[in-house]
Structure 1
Amino acid sequence: MTHMGNGTGPRDAILRIRGLEKRFGAVQALSGVDFDVRPGQVTALVGDNGAGKSVLTKTIAGIHEADGGTIEWDGKTVRVRNPRDSAELGIEVVYQDLALCDNLDVVQNMFLGREIMTNGVLDEDAMERAAAETLSGLRVTTLRSIRQPVASLSGGQRQSIAVARAVMWNSKLVILDEPTAALGVAQTGQVLQLVRRLADQGLAVVMISHNLNDVFAVADNIAILRLGEMVSQGPMDEYDTQRVVELMTTGKSDHVVSAGQGRAAPSIAAENAKEVAEARAASGETGPAAVVTSGETESFGSYMARVWSRVKAGESGVLPVILGFVLISAIFQFQNDKFLSNGNLVNLLVQGSVFMMIGMGQVFVLLLGEIDLSLGFVAGIGATVATLLVAPGLGWPWWTAVIVALGVTAVLGIVQGLLITRLRLPSFVVTLAGLLGFNGLMIQLLGAGGTVPIASETINNFANGTLSPLMGWIVTGGAVLVFAALTYLKDAKRRASGLVAPPLGMTLLKIALAVVAGGVLVTISNMNRGIARFPLSGMPWVIPIVFAVLVAWSFLLGKLKFGRYVLAIGGNAEAARRAGINLSLIRTAAFTLAAVTAGMGGIIYASRLRSISTSFDGGTIVLYVVATAVIGGTSLFGGRGHPLHAVLGGVVIAAIVNGMALLGLPAAVQLMATALVLLASITVDVVVRRRGETTR
């Protein structure tokens, strides 16, 4: 039985469904369902488990395609075949799991898959302003900052963000799947008020709920499903709890709702609102929280206090690895006063450059929650191809040899990426096979000769060449100047716009630290680290090479859609899929990027030795590379990491190996010490992850 009420006819329904059928094999999930949804009203969709509520909403949303019946949208018959079709109509769904990426902040989640781009780069300022405007319009005022990670939000706040994201895109119908599930009384009231505001703003709202108190608090109409059939639909004033329960369980009801007894619980909304107000007052939130924080109003002291509170909560960033390096340096310097000499420090950076380079590629794979065990021998193949192409027999120019070598490693990455994404094979298995297969391929390419010297002086200089003292200052000064200008202008622009930004004192401190770090690096590099007969000074080529890749990959991760999508997939792959992100393409691209970066690292490795040989130990290298990324702060669980972590981790690994070599400790002790540092880093990673889960 379908009852039309509320004094409206079918023509004013924005969504009109008639005779909808959906089958899954022999199972009839929906049997001739009729359903109407009107703008400016909340329509509650209720029914026991298995009644067909999810199938109906997923059919409307385009996840399932109907097998029969008609769907009319705004008076026109439409065919909804996929989520893109429904989104183009103006239909948005907020699923029970919310489909949010915990590792992204509020703004990034709200624009996931629909980022605003300016000149090909993510326009964070425009997205932040639009997000703040939407949240303000919905009166979502309990957020500390719209730049805080979603992982730090309460259940009610997360639900509010999911709803706000749904209404940003000129949506006309919002479907909410169990919006108050697992929420406390205060948070439930907050969400119900938000649901009511959506309808008051003219949107059509469908709310799926098992909680009849919530239904009677906010709904204008109710639709009751039982075993795939719509048994009743009408205005709330014609129903009470008893009648709804009877219709849900038996499909019929003889209960008569007395005048004035329908919609018996309007006071629940007011009661929940009161609970929300009391809860906010108790926590100090007596007025609207600032959704957008003006950088001009925050002092340096309060900013540092907020940073310290984040550190105590486990969001320590690169601080642990920096402190770890300081501690390791102090220990080795105490044991051997040559450890912090200029020559040893420069040598340490050169030694760690291979791990840094390959580690930056591994970071992108780890961000996906995957791992690539083949990168060591991918690096070896890159070095082998470049070496063979510049050999006297072929004599290619060094730059073409390098380009072709990196192209070969890209093909290896693409092949592995396709096996993982298209055949859905575990990355561990695919890349373990790659480790073995690429080792064999490398031996095949080098032949029985064993060692092949590099015939290009330019390639040999990648790791062994040095810049002149003047050129070192010019290169470093230019890099610091660009960093200072970009940092100052970016922060000043955000402060002037009233957006979240560090105070001026923090901006100047960042610039000052960059100036000091650059000056120290050049000064140390320009000091003589050779012997009397063979003086050696100047910054090694490999340092600006690694820095250039770090800048490029950081830009890729932080400023382009690709990087945003890699982070999203690592944080919540299903949320990324629902946002319209092509998971297979992004994953394959990440494995390809990692392979190309490994090829760069392999060429640097061969450059240091001025040759490549079959004794190349790619297996050990990849283990050090994984350790490099994790020690630096990248999570093995995906969604958290940065190319800088690989650089910092590479410095720590190199410091351990270098320091122990100075002390004359055997290789076995070096390996065990590195293993202990890796275990400590993973432990920190796990603790931070668990703390984030338990504080929500």
Structure 2
Amino acid sequence: MADPKTTGSGPDQAQQAPLLRIRGLEKHFGAVQALGGVDFEVYPGQVTALVGDNGAGKSVLTKCIAGIHEADGGEILWEGQTVRIRSPRDSAALGIEVVYQDLALCDNLDVVQNMFLGRERLSGRVLDEDAMERAAAETLAGLRVTTLRSIRAPVAALSGGQRQSIAVAKAVMWNSKLVILDEPTAALGVAQTGQVLQLVRRLADQGLAVVMISHNLNDVFAVADRIAVLRLGRMAGQGPVEAFDTQRVVELMTTGESDHVVAPGQATAAPSIAHENARENAEALASGAGKATTAVVGAGREESFGQYLRGVWSKVLAGQSGVLPVVLGVILIAILFQSQNDKFLSSGNIVNLLVQGAVFMLIGMGEVFVLLLGEIDLSLGFVAGIGATVATILVQPSVAWPWWAAILAALLATGALGTIQGLLITKLRLPSFVVTLSGLLGFQGLMIQLLGQGGTIPIQSQTINNLSNGTLSPAMGWGLTAVVLAVFAVLTFLRDAKRRSSGLVAPPMGLTLTKIGVAIVAGVVLVLISNANRGVPAFPLNGMPWVIPIVFAVLAVWSFVLGRLRFGRYVLAIGGNAEAARRAGINLSRIRMAAFTLAAATAGLGGIIYASRLQSISTSFDGGTIVLYVVATAVIGGTSLFGGRGHPLHAVLGGVVIAAIVNGMALLGLPAAVQLMATALVLLAAITVDVVVRRRGETAR
């Protein structure tokens, strides 16, 4: 019998050249030789199984092909041409995609977001979600992945087999020519294994070259056209599957040699009955021709109210409750304090509460971007103080900058502080906790240095003072609110209508109108409360404070950045799975540094609002306490301390909760000690919910 070290000459191979041919590939790690002159061939339209014991060099070989490692010697020929693969970008440009054993998926992102991570489609500079959703659905339907209920489901909610299918689909949708699968059936059940093997077979049937690394010989013989056996960094044998059986593969894996002769007709190992059943089950699933996904690509299907409510309830049961807990918490706090003091829900107290919480909301929105990365910034309190100090100094008569230039300079200065800290964290790989704790101390000293020994500097700009203390006229409040609500209503209606016309699943028309109606009611109530007289007979006061539209404007901008731009998508991806983001080609250092810069600039605005309310800035500014409240604000609102889950809205809601607690207890005449302990209990409750949700998701997976 021919030595299996030489490539077999089946009928398919006689008619085509190998897509990938490796000759004498070598790779060393110091004194350790991981690969010693490996020859390897991969043909289009075939599954090549790469097998070997632990330490045989399978992962090193595939990483050299994928560009994770650069080979130290040998030759790589791609479509007959010698190539040099030095990075994952080089391999991706050739059409090589790798599905690693850990799958490299971000659990906090949905199916569509994972499939397009690092290769998002844009409309202008904005993410084109509808185009990506259609393309993802078509790819999944083409691969006959039929077990997904929704391609907008978070990957964390999927089973092992579904996650493997998504990883494979992600790899093949970029005009791939070679797909490498690292242990695709590891840790899967029988039915899920059969589903994945059918998917592997379909990839080859569509003309792709597939390399499958596996320790399971049943899986290997079930789908492979060729087998290559590595042992101690050398190719012990490779050839068509007909040249091998289980005994020969095991002997080559363990000794590097085999005299065993494979009898004609007995070449492949007989798969177990359970394995055959799994394949039959997978075929039965495949015969559904994509029922789950074709519904997504269908002709503008609308969800009913019942379906929508069931979906919401399923998310709640899975721990994805969103802002629901904090909204219920706000309602409970309001009922509690109103029952003890009927002035709590008065228009004057509500407006005062919102103004008090504005500083925490603004700085908290900046902190959210850092927490989303799984990092923390303890310096934002004194960064805010420096922003207020810079703006105050620049509007002094001796300097006489215009108010807008002073604010812009303050934001640039605080943003620069964030950039410096981001560089230390990303380039030197220092822990963010240590760097920003140092920043807390250093920036406090810098602030004192800037203020000098005078202690307090008044703000010499009526415009800056009005940021917190000024009010819009009642007519202007109505007009601004009407414009905002009209824009929201039009955008919401057009977005849902576009999804229906594009053949994507859309919410029911009743739900669209309900969302618009709720927004209108909330806006009208806010204006009515703001326009009510909250002064005294001698000094009437009404109108919406300037700070309220400022907070909502920042919320709208940062929500747009997080939800509609690549930067926001990458922040979420890094927080969900930094390694997956790196493999997707995302520049982790750049995104992290930008997030710290954005957080610091936002904190600078919060500091200006703080100083505006007092109409001065002084060395008594307690940035340490402020930053603790800010972190509590974000976490209470629903942002995870572990990264990957959060929204600027969480800081706004958390700010309302903290301001309500402080305000309500002050109305009841309770001491500051009780206020602090109550806030601590609420923070502990929020963190407990975060941990429970995280553990529940890991257990469900």
The letter of the residue matching 1:321 is V
Query: Which residue of structure 1 lines up, in the alignment, with residue 255 of structure 2?
Result: 250
The letter of the residue matching 2:517 is A
The letter of the residue matching 1:274 is E
Is it true that 1:271 corresponds to 2:277 in the alignment? Answer: yes
Displacement of 1:10: 10
Confirm or deny: 8 A CA contact 2:146 2:293 kept in the other structure.
yes
Query: Which residue of structure 2 lines up, in the alignment, with residue 3 of structure 1?
Result: 6
Output one character per residue of 1:67-100: Cα deviation in whole Å (capped at 9) or x when no partner.
Answer: 1110000010000011100000000000000000
Is it true that 1:673 corresponds to 2:690 in the alignment? Answer: no
Matched ranges for 1:23-422 at <5 A: 23-265=28-270, 270-276=276-282, 288-290=291-293, 292-293=295-296, 296-422=301-427
Output one character per residue of 1:465-519: Cα deviation in whole Å (capped at 9) or x when no partner.
Answer: 0000000011111111100100010011112222132111111110000000000
Query: Which residue of structure 2 lines up, in the alignment, with residue 509 of structure 1?
Result: 514
Query: Which residue of structure 2 lines up, in the alignment, with residue 457 of structure 1?
Result: 462
Confirm or deny: 8 A CA contact 1:45 1:222 kept in the other structure.
yes
- 2-side partners of 1:316 and 1:682: how far apart? 14
Confirm or deny: 8 A CA contact 1:218 1:266 kept in the other structure.
no
Query: Which residue of structure 1 lines up, in the alignment, with residue 599 of structure 2?
Result: 594
Output one character per residue of 1:352-390: Cα deviation in whole Å (capped at 9) or x when no partner.
Answer: 000000000000000000000000000000000000000
Is it true that 1:585 corresponds to 2:590 in the alignment? Answer: yes
The letter of the residue matching 2:475 is L
- 1-side partners of 2:238 and 2:294: how far apart? 39
Confirm or deny: 8 A CA contact 2:301 2:500 kept in the other structure.
yes
Confirm or deny: 8 A CA contact 1:185 1:275 kept in the other structure.
no
Displacement of 1:432: 0.2
The letter of the residue matching 2:206 is Q
Confirm or deny: 8 A CA contact 1:461 1:541 kept in the other structure.
yes
- 1-side partners of 2:285 and 2:78: how far apart? 41
Confirm or deny: 8 A CA contact 1:10 1:16 kept in the other structure.
no
The letter of the residue matching 1:456 is S
Give the 3-state SS of the residue equivalent to 1:191 in structure 2. Answer: helix
Give the 3-state SS of the residue equivalent to 1:30 in structure 2. Answer: strand
The letter of the residue matching 1:600 is L
For these two proteins, the number of residue pairs brought into alignment is 693
Give the fraction of aligned pairs with identical amino acids, expressed as a percent.
78
- 2-side partners of 1:495 and 1:549: how far apart? 31
Displacement of 1:303: 1.0
- 1-side partners of 2:361 and 2:267: how far apart? 68
The letter of the residue matching 1:501 is A
Is it true that 1:619 corresponds to 2:624 in the alignment? Answer: yes
Is it true that 1:466 corresponds to 2:471 in the alignment? Answer: yes
Distance 1:13 1:266, change over 3 A: farther
- 1-side partners of 2:277 and 2:674: how far apart? 66
Confirm or deny: 8 A CA contact 2:301 2:504 kept in the other structure.
no
- 1-side partners of 2:356 and 2:564: how far apart? 30
Give the 3-state SS of the residue equivalent to 1:12 in structure 2. Answer: coil
Confirm or deny: 8 A CA contact 1:147 1:500 kept in the other structure.
no
Query: Which residue of structure 2 lines up, in the alignment, with residue 477 of structure 1?
Result: 482
- 1-side partners of 2:207 and 2:290: how far apart? 27
- 2-side partners of 1:549 and 1:536: how far apart? 26
Confirm or deny: 8 A CA contact 1:633 1:645 kept in the other structure.
yes
Displacement of 1:296: 3.5
Give unmatched runs, 5+ long, in structure 1. Answer: none
Confirm or deny: 8 A CA contact 1:630 1:678 kept in the other structure.
yes
Output one character per residue of 1:629-651: Cα deviation in whole Å (capped at 9) or x when no partner.
Answer: 00000000000000000000000
- 2-side partners of 1:176 and 1:251: how far apart? 24
Q: Which moved more, 1:83-92 or 1:490-499?
A: 490-499
Distance 1:332 1:257, change over 3 A: same
Confirm or deny: 8 A CA contact 2:229 2:237 kept in the other structure.
yes
Output one character per residue of 1:178-213: Cα deviation in whole Å (capped at 9) or x when no partner.
Answer: 000000000000000000000000000000000000
Output one character per residue of 1:584-628: Cα deviation in whole Å (capped at 9) or x when no partner.
Answer: 000000000000000000000000000000000000000000000
- 1-side partners of 2:505 and 2:605: how far apart? 37
Displacement of 1:270: 4.3
Give the 3-state SS of the residue equivalent to 1:289 in structure 2. Answer: helix
Give the 3-state SS of the residue equivalent to 2:21 in structure 1. Answer: strand
Output one character per residue of 1:561-606: Cα deviation in whole Å (capped at 9) or x when no partner.
Answer: 0000000000000000000000000000000000000000000000
The letter of the residue matching 1:91 is I
Distance 1:292 1:439, change over 3 A: farther
- 2-side partners of 1:50 and 1:267: how far apart? 27
The letter of the residue matching 2:421 is Q
- 2-side partners of 1:636 and 1:41: how far apart? 46
- 2-side partners of 1:90 and 1:474: how far apart? 55
- 2-side partners of 1:347 and 1:440: how far apart? 32
Confirm or deny: 8 A CA contact 1:52 1:228 kept in the other structure.
yes
The letter of the residue matching 1:3 is T
**Normalising by the residue count of structure 1, what TM-score does the alignment of the two structures yield?**
0.98
Give the 3-state SS of the residue equivalent to 2:321 in structure 1. Answer: coil
Give the 3-state SS of the residue equivalent to 2:439 in structure 1. Answer: helix
- 1-side partners of 2:532 and 2:45: how far apart? 74
Give the superposed CA RMSD. 1.5
Counterpart pick for 2:444 among 439, 442, 449? 439
Query: Which residue of structure 2 lines up, in the alignment, with residue 609 of structure 1?
Result: 614
**Normalising by the residue count of structure 2, what TM-score does the alignment of the two structures yield?**
0.97
